[in-house]
Structure formats: C-alpha cells, structure tokens
Amino acid sequence: MLGADDHALDRVPATGRYPWWTVAVQRFGQLSDLTVFLLGATLGAGMGFWGAFWSLTLGSVILEVVAIFAGIAGVREGLSTSVLARWTGFGRSGSALIGLVVATSLIGWFGIQNAIFAEGLHALVDGVPVWLWSIVTGLAVTALVVFGFRWMAWIAYLTVPAFLLLAGWSVIGELSDHSLGDLLGTAGFGEPMSIATGATIVAGSYIAGAVLTPDMTRFNRSTGDVVKQTVVSITLGQYVLGLVGVILAYAIRSADVVTIFAATSGTIGVIILVSATVKINDWNLYSSSLGFVNTLSTVFGVRVNRVVATIAIGVLGTALSALGILDRFADFLTVLGVTLPPIAGIMVAEYFLVRRWRPALDESREHGRLPATEPGWVPATLVIWAGAALLGWWTEQEQIGIPALNSLVVAGVVYLAAGKAGLVRGTKELAVEKGAE
C-alpha cells in the first residue's frame, strides 16, 4: 500500500529507529511557531523581563520532566501512547477510550489549525477563497502524513530552518531600532501577572504534546537520545523563542506581536506561514491516526492500516475546516484537553513505580513482540482518571495552581497509592488480538 503504517500497533524495531536529531527537529518544529512568540509577549505584558524569565523557566522544566519520563517509556517499548496504555494502567478498554479522546481532540485541532492556515493564505493571496485554501492545505498535509515519520522528518528539516531564518529576519528588523539593555529593563505594561500564573500559561501551552511524547520517542534509539532531544527542543523552541516574544512585546508595547509577521507580505509572508503551520499540523493528524487505529483494534478487533486512517481523518478534518464550523467546537475541544494530563501521570506511575504489568512488557520486549495478554478494564484507573480530570477542570475555573500539572500529579500520586494498596487490578486478562501483533 502507498504510504507507511509506521508500526501503528506494533513495537518499532531497532531497524526503524532514527538518530536523536531527526526526532528533535520534529519536536522543535511542534514548539516553534508564531504562537510561542505570542506566549512570550503575553508574559511580557504582565511582568518585567526577569519575572517572564522565571515563568518560562519553571513552565519549561515542568514540560521537560513530563516529556522525558513519558518519552523513556516510549523509547523502551517502541509503542505509541494509546497502545502502550494497555499495559500502563488502562487495559484494553481504557486504551480504547484514550485513543478515542486523542483522535477526537487532535482531529478537531487539525481542522482549526488548517482553517487558520487557510485564512492566512487568503489574506496574503486573496484571489482564492478561504474554503478552497482549506481544502488545498488540508489535503496537502494529509498527503504528507500518509508517508509517515520519514517524510515528516524531511519536511521538518526544510520548514524549521525556513521559519527560524525568516521569522528571525522579521524580529531583527523590528528590534534594530531599540537598545537591548533598555528592553531588558522594561516593566510590564498590561495587567500585572504573577510568576505562578505565567508558569501555568507556559506549562499548559504544550502539556498535551508532552503527554503524547511516546508517539514520537518510539523512533528514538536510547533513553539518552530522549533526554537530549527533549531538552534541546523544548529549551530552544519553548524557552528561547518565548523570551524573544517577551522582548518583542516590550519593543512594540503590545502583546499582539504576531502582527510583526503578518505585516510581512508576499513570498516571505507565505513561507513564514507555511513553515509555521505544517510542522505542527502534520503531528496533530499523525497522533490522531494512531489513536484511531488503536481504538478500532481494541473495540472491534480489526487492524486498520494507519494510511487508511490518516486519509479518512484528514479528509474529515479538511471538510470540517472548509465548512467553517469547527470554531463552534473549540470550547468542547478545550474541555476534552483536560483529560490528557492525568493519562501521563497514571502511565508514568504504573510504568516506573507500581509495575503491575511491567514484567509482561519486559519479557515480550526481549522477543520484539507485544505481551500475550492484556487486562480488560482496570476500574481503579478509570475512576482516578475521571477524578483527576475533574480536578484539573475545577482548578482551571478557580485559577488554582497549574491545572494541567495539578491533574497530572494527583493522578500519578493516587494511582501509586492505589497500586500499593492492591486496588489496581484488571477485570480479566485477555489474549492480545492477532491483528494487533
């Protein structure tokens, strides 16, 4: 079949792994877009430079810790997030729910990002209507993702340098008339913001991506590679570019720093927009297809090639963005997003500390296959997941702490306690479907 299944339901073998920088450039691509400048500018509007510095530092460290632990599980087992979840606390049915949540959430964000992409191109080349741009851009990204990780890596090799060079050109042009020393001494000019609030914004901006790290790190070769690519990509993508956004906000006395890039018209403007969007939206679609494939396998016992799932999801997301109806579901997608952080807390606690199903993973890994059995339902996990997600939603409404971190830590701690108390048990050990081997 045209395209690559990319071991959607299997372990990625040693021959399918890549050097750490191949994975790092894609993770960096996920983090380096116009919104990271906006993130930094939001911090700059509410506090001085050093306050913004510490907010970005704390938020980035949180993301790196979550991504590293989730990523180590991914590289050791060579499995996607939703498949790995079967033996890290959720069981077959729980992993089906995870796959459904991931697929639904990311197909929505794929469509929304695609609509924004199309509107940007329409503003630059207004001879083509937005709906037609939506179809062109959506199908183009879908075609890319069909060919899998290898092609996505090559696109990242092209778009990341292009984005950095051209966005950097715009930034330097804006800052050339200002003294860097004066800008670093500038106070916030908007509503005051605490460092804790700033760290909340930073950590919350990419926590879903950190949770889904195994989708990417299953292609790494070692745990050391996971640590290197995570630290480099998050530090340069989220941290350094965020600080640039802070300084830009001081220079123009506005948090709306994206206007600097929007003012760049013609070919350069198109390249900045394309390079900023494609390297993010391809991973929205890729992880969505992995979640969908796992759900079909666990619920119906049917193995669907990832290529087929990618085409179906890509066409659906493209159609929804062309119809212009996805904005109505943005709030729903945001609420759905609060269910993701507790997943990482539970998976990390099970894999590294409780280890209820770790022996099965260790034994089967030696033979390059999946475990022979998997738990069906794990009731305690589902209760903890739901409770932690509700806690995250409530603390977000009440603006208490860092909501995503609150739910992640609580889920992990409660799962650990439940595991030590012997409450984490599957309802029944089920044979792994042959279609999933």
Q: How confident is the model at residue 361 (pLDDT cuts 50, 70, 90)?
A: very high
pLDDT band at 329 (very low <50, low <70, confident <90, very high): confident
The whole-number pLDDT of residue 200 equals 79
pLDDT at 383 over 90: yes
Residue 294 in tokens: 């796992």
Q: Report the pLDDT averaged over residues 328-354.
A: 86
Q: 78 in the Ramachandran plot: left (φ > 0), alpha (ψ -120 to 50) or beta?
A: left
Q: Is the pLDDT of residue 65 over 90?
A: yes
What is the C-alpha separation between 309 and 315, in angstroms, rounded? 10
More confident residue, 290 or 197: 290
Decide: 142 and 306 in contact? Cβ < 8 Å.
Answer: no
Average pLDDT rounded to a whole number, residues 388-398: 90
- Give the tens place of pLDDT for each residue, 219-268: 999 999 999 999 999 999 889 999 999 998 898 888 877 667 666 556 67
Does residue 160 carry a pLDDT above 80? Answer: yes
What is the torsional sign of CA 42, 44, 46, 51?
positive
Residues 6+ apart with CB under 8 A from 287: 80, 81, 102, 106, 212, 215
Amino acid at 35: T
State the chain's mean pLDDT as an integer.
90
Distance of alpha carbon 290 from alpha carbon 148, whole angstroms? 11
Q: pLDDT digit string (tens) for 130-145?
A: 999 999 999 999 999 9
What domains does the chain contain, in order, with CATH numbers? 14-436 (1.10.4160.10)
208 has pLDDT over 90: no
Q: State the average pLDDT over residues 92-114.
A: 91
Judged by average pLDDT, the poorest of 200-214, 226-240, 311-325, 404-418 is 200-214
Cα gap 69→64, rounded to integer Å: 9
Lowest-confidence range among 94-98, 195-199, 340-344? 195-199
> Strand, coil or helix: what is 430?
strand
Between 328 and 293, the higher pLDDT residue:
293
Q: What is the pTM of this model?
A: 0.92
Comparison of pLDDT for 377 and 113, the residue scoring more: 377
**The predicted structure's pLDDT at residue 151:** 94
DSSP state at residue 218:
T
Determine the Cα–Cα distance for residues 292 and 351; give it in Å rounded to an integer. 23
Q: What is the pLDDT of residues 73-91, one digit of tens each?
A: 999 999 999 999 999 999 9
Whether the pLDDT of residue 377 is over 90: the answer is yes
Nearby residues of 264 by Cβ (< 8 Å), 6 or more positions away: 166, 170, 272
Element (H, E) at 86: none
67 or 331: which leads in pLDDT: 67
Q: Once rounded to an integer, what is the mean pLDDT over residues 391-396?
A: 89
Determine what percent of the chain is predicted with pLDDT higher than 90: 60
Mean pLDDT along residues 7-35: 93
Answer with the residue of higher pLDDT: 125 or 214: 214
Find the mean pLDDT for residues 291-302. 93
Contact indicator for 123, 115 with CB cutoff of 8 Å: no
pLDDT at 109: 86
